[in-house]
Amino acid sequence: MTLFRNVVFIAAIAGLVAGVVLACMQAYATVPLILKAEVYEQAGGGHTHDHGLAPAATDSNAMSSAMPAEAATAEEEGWAPADGFERFAFNVVANVVTGIGFALILVAASEFAGGIGNWRQGLFWGFAGFAVFTLAPNLGLPPELPAMPAADLAQRQIWWTATVVATAAGLGLLAFRKSLPLAVIAVGLIVAPHIVGAPQPDSFESPIPDGLHHQFVVAVTLTNLVFWLVLGAVAGLVRGRLTGTATGLRDSFA
């Protein structure tokens, strides 16, 4: 039972540190790009919003017919944190929760493989997590800015999940099974989702400039790379200090 508590504690510390680091990087790298994209989104939707109001009328009902339309639009948009500290604070919380979740997956998987011995091994595990959860899915579904077209959400989620599972299985076979047939199967698993192809939108027309989208993809990729490296390194460092030479889950079950 102590081992499982250690796994949760290591994941909590690693997720907390990596989540805060990611939020700080996003504040300078990705959030400004999202705000720029929102300007294009609002500029593209401003005319259609005005045209959605009731047509001109000669009686006093014209104003009353327009007001419910504006109220309905505000309700559809829903609540959003205000720009500045409030938005940053919510982003920190979201990234910390996400970081702890990813850290639990990373630490549990590494324990079945014998555990992360130190921060250097943690870097390798972190890069593997980056390849599985960021690099491979982004090859088919690159990060999107507001106002960009996208395929059906359910289809994208299915493809993303299948890509993550196939990539993780392929990397696991390559790393822990020294066999040529299994290596061929591993490469097939990694490549298969991209041969099938990710779901694509019906149209790629967007008010977002290509240069802005390119900057966003690069920023998201680099910030996630640092996030995963920090996550793995902190997990390895904390585990080394906390458990020392304690056995991993695999040896414990054996």
Is the model's pLDDT at 74 over the cut of 50? no
Q: What is the pLDDT of residue 186?
A: 95
Is the model's pLDDT at 117 over the cut of 70? yes
Q: Is 172:106 a contact under the CB 8 Å cutoff?
A: no
Give the chain's domain count.
1
Q: In the chain, count H helices and then E strands.
A: 10, 0
Which pLDDT tens digit goes with each residue over 140-177? 999 999 888 888 999 999 999 999 999 999 999 998 88
Is the model's pLDDT at 77 over the cut of 80? no
Q: How many CB atoms lie within 10 A of CB 110?
A: 26
Which pLDDT tens digit goes with each residue over 187-232? 999 999 999 999 999 888 888 899 999 999 999 999 999 999 999 9
Inside any domain, residue 186: no
Which pLDDT tens digit goes with each residue over 14-48? 999 999 999 999 999 999 999 899 888 787 653 33
- DSSP code string of 82-97: PTTHHHHHHHHHHHHH
238, 243, 245, 250 alpha-carbon torsion, rounded to 10°: -100
Q: What is the pLDDT of residue 177?
A: 84
Inside any domain, residue 198: no
Inside any domain, residue 11: yes
Average pLDDT over residues 122-142: 96
Is the model's pLDDT at 244 over the cut of 70? no
Inside any domain, residue 161: no
Q: Is 29:219 a contact under the CB 8 Å cutoff?
A: yes
Inside any domain, residue 166: no
User: Residues 6 or more apart from 92 whose CB is under 8 A from it?
Assistant: 19, 20, 23
Is the model's pLDDT at 79 over the cut of 70? no
Inside any domain, residue 172: no
Sorting pLDDT into bands at 50, 70 and 90, what band is 246? very low
Q: What is the pLDDT of residue 1?
A: 53
Inside any domain, residue 196: no
- Give pTM, 2 decimals: 0.81
**Tokens representing 235?**
């997990």
Which pLDDT tens digit goes with each residue over 3-12? 788 899 999 9
Inside any domain, residue 119: yes
Domain that holds residue 29: 2-53+63-148+206-253
Q: What is the pLDDT of residue 6?
A: 87
Q: Is 207:43 a contact under the CB 8 Å cutoff?
A: yes
Q: What is the pLDDT of residue 206?
A: 86
Is the model's pLDDT at 110 over the cut of 60? yes
